[in-house]
Amino acid sequence: MYSNILLKVAMGVLVLTSIIGCSKEEEPYHEIARIELKGARCLSDSIKKIETFFAGKSTAKEVDAIWTCYSFALRTFDKYVQGENKNSYTSNELRNFLETYFLKEDLKKSRRTHIISDALLDEMMIIKRLFLGGSTNSLKKDELLKTLDLIVVFKKITEDLLPHSKLLFTSGSQTPPSEAEFKAAEQALSKASADLVSFLNQRTSRYEMANLNRLLNELHLFFRDLDPNSKFGKVHIYVPIIAKLKALLLNTNSFAIEASEWPAVGELLSQVAAIGLRAQYTFDVESLYSIEKLDLLERTSRMGLEIVKNSFSYRDHGAIAVSQFLDLIDELEAIDLLPLALTADDAKHMTSRFLDLVLNPEEKYPVSGLTLSKLGYLETEINGWAQVQKLMIRKEENDGNPFWRQMKMVLNSPFSLSLDTLERIVLDGDTAATNIEGATRLNWARAGLSMLFNAYIADPARRKTMNLSTKELHNAFIDLRPIFIGLDLIDKDDFIYDQSLFRDANLFMPRSD
């Protein structure tokens, strides 16, 4: 979903950069001659063609028509409009021209003074400077010609993406594409990102995140006025999260993209989008029971871990500070994206404990925050879960695998374990056979409990036996309590659930010899 948003935003910026090329000035406006322009409806019609492109249904002819229209609009403007200054144009001159001849009907429907707002013009002028340089107060004649050259570049980018548009811009079907199709789409995306970055003006391409927020909000209003059913939603609310992630992964500030950062930002965005493409086919229940989808899930996870690993190349020190993760939690809370109705304080506490305790068994890694060593430990546990899952799907065993030996202890207990339709554990020593669904849940529990036991067992000698004392169990419960409350497993006033759990387990759980 979010990768689709990123790609659509990028496309929207390309489109509007091509048709809006100047900003607001308080100079007198020269009335445009009333002429009949053949094909003037193309600008409004192109919005529908863009929707078709995002639906993965465009033809090469339709893509060509989009950019031909924008080129026609600018050339016509240059031909028929004389600015107050003969070497440059004001925003009112361009806006009035577009709204008079290309967006006339849309302007009437909107019931606004202008369908291209002052704020949108201001923000697009800043985008203009990213690519063309120059002033944010005017568009010079030579910059108009450069814009026409940029249209050629943008057209080539969309033509390269066209064969992959259905995969890039639409939600995944039940059957995932082949690995070759994924890689081809990812390569096209990476090339498009690199091509776009290469045309940025290196001297004037610093870009404030506040401007991105304002631009996306104005784009939302613009497309809504053109079409009340527009799917260009309020994506600007995600900008603060993007800013914090950029700071975390590139070890830089969160308020601007510096001119020197664009290559890294472009590469990062294409990598995130590539993960998003795969994720829409992998993060579902069926992925856990299919070898093919499990392989895809593993590759997607590795790609995500690789992005985090790469972030350490931007750091002289060896850790991503806990505070950077906590800053991200504040932004998630601001737009109500924290899961399980967690408060920011609860989420911050658990995140700190996860980074400095759960990912740090036996206190092997003394540095606070996320380190490569801790990330390696997490990757090992994820791989171990996947290895066990594949063995169960194939109905195979591998006693040389330590993760399988753990799982075998669970599956081969004197009383077979499975889950019924109400998610209750069923113990039946005579007839119960663990199905793949129940075994999968037990595999999740095995992996999670293994990490928790390693984290909370204070005595290293007891780690091999994997058992918690009542005090250790209570410490783990207090840290995990907000999750239990969010899942409605315990009452918010229950602080002794671990004690009753310990008592019930000793009284009622069958014991082996």
pLDDT, tens digit, 9 for 90 and up, residues 83-114? 677 778 777 777 777 777 767 777 777 777 78
Looking at residue 29, its pLDDT comes to: 40
Mean pLDDT, residues 133-146: 82
CA dist., res. 384 & res. 167, Å (int): 31
Q: Is 302 exposed, middle or buried (0-12, 13-18, 19+ CB in 10 A)?
A: middle
Looking at residue 416, its pLDDT comes to: 53
CA dist., res. 427 & res. 455, Å (int): 28
Q: Is 408 exposed, middle or buried (0-12, 13-18, 19+ CB in 10 A)?
A: middle
Mean pLDDT, residues 148-168: 89
Q: Residue for token digits 């709204």?
A: 99
Which region among 183-192, 221-230, 270-279, 394-403 has the lowest average model confidence (pLDDT)?
221-230
Q: Is 35 helix (H, G, I), strand (E, B) or coil?
A: coil
164-190 confidence digits (pLDDT tens): 988 888 776 667 888 899 999 999 999
Rg (CA), the chain: 28
* Per-domain residue ranges of the chain: 2-316, 326-508
Q: Residue for token digits 């109500």?
A: 336
Q: Give how far Cα 445 sits from Cα of 170, 385, 452, Å.
A: 34, 10, 10
Q: Is 367 helix (H, G, I), strand (E, B) or coil?
A: coil
Token duo for residue 488: 């409605």
In this structure, which amino acid lies at residue 422?
A: L
Task: Examine the pLDDT at 30 and tell me if it is beyond 50.
Answer: no
What phi and psi values does residue 257 have, to the nearest 5 degrees? -100, 115
272-283 confidence digits (pLDDT tens): 989 988 888 877
Q: Is 218 exposed, middle or buried (0-12, 13-18, 19+ CB in 10 A)?
A: buried
Q: Is 374 helix (H, G, I), strand (E, B) or coil?
A: helix
- What's the N-to-C CA distance of the chain in angstroms? 51
Looking at residue 18, its pLDDT comes to: 60
Query: In the chain, what percentage of residues exceed pLDDT 90?
Result: 30
Three-state secondary structure readout of 119-156: HHHHHHHHHHHHHHCCCCCCEEHHHHHHHHHHHHHHHH
268-321 confidence digits (pLDDT tens): 999 998 998 888 887 777 778 889 888 988 999 999 999 999 999 998 878 999
